[in-house]
A and B are shown apart, each in its own frame.
Chain A
Amino acid sequence: MTDKEKLALLEDTIEAEEGSLSPAMELKDVEEYDSVAKLSIIVMMEDEFGRKIDSATVKGFATVGDIMALMSKE
């Protein structure tokens, strides 16, 4: 999956506007990154990549790029 595809999937997952995210963006500045978005990312990681991420991993996400780094098959 290319970075562009990952960004598109992430935008779709957290219901952010198409093209609104970039890898360097800090999540604290992403308005859509709320508690439901975090749960949606957990589901996306599990369904798309078979990856079971835990609470500590989610809490460790600081940038969009941190999430993208885990968007691959384990």
Chain B
Amino acid sequence: MIHTKIQGVKIAGIAGAVSNTWESIEDVMKRLDSEDSLRLKKLNETIGINGSYKAGKYQCTSDFCYAAAKNLLEAKGINPSEIGVLVFISQTPDYYMHPATACLLQYRLGISKDCIAFDVCLGCSGFTYGLNIVSSILKSSNADKALLLCGDTSARGRSPKINTKRANSSKYLFGDSGTATLLVKNEAEYMNMISNTDGSGYKAIITPYGGYRNPDPPEEYLLIAPRMDDIPVFTFATRDVPPIITDTMKVGGFTPDDYDCLLLHQANLFIMKRIAKKTGFPLEKMLVSIDEFGNTSSASIPITMVKHYGNEKAGKIHALACGFGVGLSCSTADFYFDASDVLPLIHTDEFFDDGYKTID
């Protein structure tokens, strides 16, 4: 078990951004024939999505993270020059190869050149991993403030086809968003985190073509599309993840009664309920955002915080968060935050013009 304890770093702000385009499950069903529409309705009773926000044609994850970060810095009265660390965690960066999207975001946000900035390629476990990475760097550097930017536009580029008979990686499952988390040095606060990796499950969620390993897809694949084998993902999530959550409670000496909320990656409601049951959390403490946002990958935990605490004025919250999925990768984080530090949801249709695209 790899346990990280960070004493002296606090989550001082959270913001999340989405587009203005919300597609309901009914909208998706209208595009299907009646048989597929009924199948999707049944499938969705288990998954629990009412709809999700979709990025505009030219919107990238970084555009949502930019809007979230900009609003967060303004709301907290922080000058961008105070940010010494910027980590962007996503599997949908601006460019396939280079440069790192974090470098563009440093520039776009007007952050000083005296800044550690880099990308991390993780999905569903990204936010909790990011807390570990960013707080570790803050602790060991002279930087006082950091931005953790997590998000994905997983719905972009996915097939709109619905296939309920086999592994399903359909567009309808996913939502597009970006988040920003402000971390600051604060001696009174601590976080407990556990990380876990099972790379033998690398095929469970994979985009096999388009990278250096297999640059060109076979002819029968029209898209360089992601695919998901739902059974290995399900067994990983419901068998391997609960003991990691339980271990996180143990290292802090806590039980579910000691937490205000359980913040799970929003994979699907069936998986989430099973994890809550196996770890002894009542369903009232398991916060849900998949209903409104779909599966938002690395953004799912902060987006859940925005949904539930974005309009709260005060209150210290003790949270146990767990991100799990593609890798296969899992990480937990036990932390406190103030509900008043969570901003209401931000909507934006803006995107960055890098000078290379031909815009319709």
- The CA of A63 and the CA of B14, in the complex, are separated in Å by 50
- Given A34-B165, A52-B239, A39:B39 Cβ within 8 A: no
B186 within 8 A of A: no
Would B230 and A39 count as touching, CB distance under 8 A?
yes
- Determine if A42 is an interface residue (Cβ-Cβ < 8 Å): yes
A37-61 near B? 1/0 per residue, CB < 8 Å: 0110011000000001011001100
Determine whether the beta carbon of A36 is less than 8 Å from that of B270: yes
- The answer to the question of A35 belonging to the interface, with a C-beta cut-off of 8 Å to chain B, is yes
Interface of A is mostly: helix
What is the count of residue pairs linking A and B with beta-carbon distances less than 8 angstroms? 40
CB-CB < 8 A to A39: which residues of B?
46, 230-231, 234, 270
Residues of B within 8 A of A35 (CB): 43, 164-168, 230
Note all chain B residues with C-beta closer than 8 A to A36. 42-43, 46, 164, 270
Bound-state CA distance A43–B274 (Å) is 9
Q: How large is the interface on A (under 10, 10 to 19, 20 to 34, 35 or more residues)?
A: 10 to 19
Task: Among A43, A52, A55, point to the contact of B232 (Cβ < 8 A).
Answer: A55
B165 to chain A, nearest CB (A): 6
Beta-carbon contacts of A19-30 to B below 8 Å, as 1s and 0s?
000000000000
> Which B residues are CB-close (under 8 A) to A58?
231
Q: How far is the CA of A35 from the CA of B45 in the complex (A)?
A: 13
Residues of chain B having any CB pair with chain A under 8 Å: 39, 42-43, 46, 164-168, 229-232, 234-235, 238-239, 270, 274
Pairs A–B under 8 Å by Cβ, sample size 15 = A34-B42, A34-B165, A35-B168, A36-B43, A36-B46, A38-B231, A39-B46, A39-B270, A42-B231, A43-B274, A52-B235, A52-B239, A54-B231, A54-B232, A55-B231
